Amino acid sequence: MRPIDDPARFNAAVAAFDAANSADPNRERDGRLAEPGALVYARRMSRMLARFAPDASEAVRLAVRCQHIRRWEIPRAEYPKTPEGYRAWRKRLMDFHAEIAGRILEAVGYEAEAVAHVQALVRKERIKHDPDAPLARLGGDDGAEEPGAVGGVEQQLGGGREVPDHGVVGSPGTAGQASRGARHGNRAEI
């Protein structure tokens, strides 16, 4: 695993992302507990990243953890049920997530360059030019959800093994949870 430059700052960012996602009124099961859905999703994607790319950069780890932060605040139903409406909704979400992530990262002490990099990853920008971009797409609703889908298959088959949750340095987690986006059919809803 690639070391984190400042573990205390990284953990503060993850804790702030998780605090924001803890306000999600939607509940999902994560093991035996029903927890805020956005929080469950963020943890799940961090576990999938740890499993598929344990040497991911700090920027990717942050982007994966916050890529759907407070997503419930911009419901799909507020946009037309058309391909154009879907794309407008997705664009608004990416900008919203990047804005919130940027404020949190600045508040915990990340430099402007690092904040801009995470925001670009959350917005799915520079996909062909940024080596971090493919990993940051983990769990995205744009057809790049393969690692998350693997978690869904593992859950359905009763599999899964203990892997670290690299959302927080040193935090344990459990792999094998279904992808929230796939379970709720977000990609199919245009």
Cα separation, 59 vs 16, whole angstroms:
16
Global pTM reads: 0.74
* pLDDT tens profile 28-84: 987 788 999 999 999 999 999 999 888 899 999 999 999 999 999 999 999 999 999
Phi then psi dihedrals of residue 143, to 5 deg: 90, 5
Cα separation, 61 vs 37, whole angstroms:
19
pLDDT tens-place values along the chain, 190 residues long: 677 889 999 999 999 999 999 999 999 987 788 999 999 999 999 999 999 888 899 999 999 999 999 999 999 999 999 999 999 999 999 999 999 999 999 999 999 999 999 999 999 888 778 878 777 766 555 444 444 444 443 443 344 444 444 454 444 333 333 333 333 333 333 3
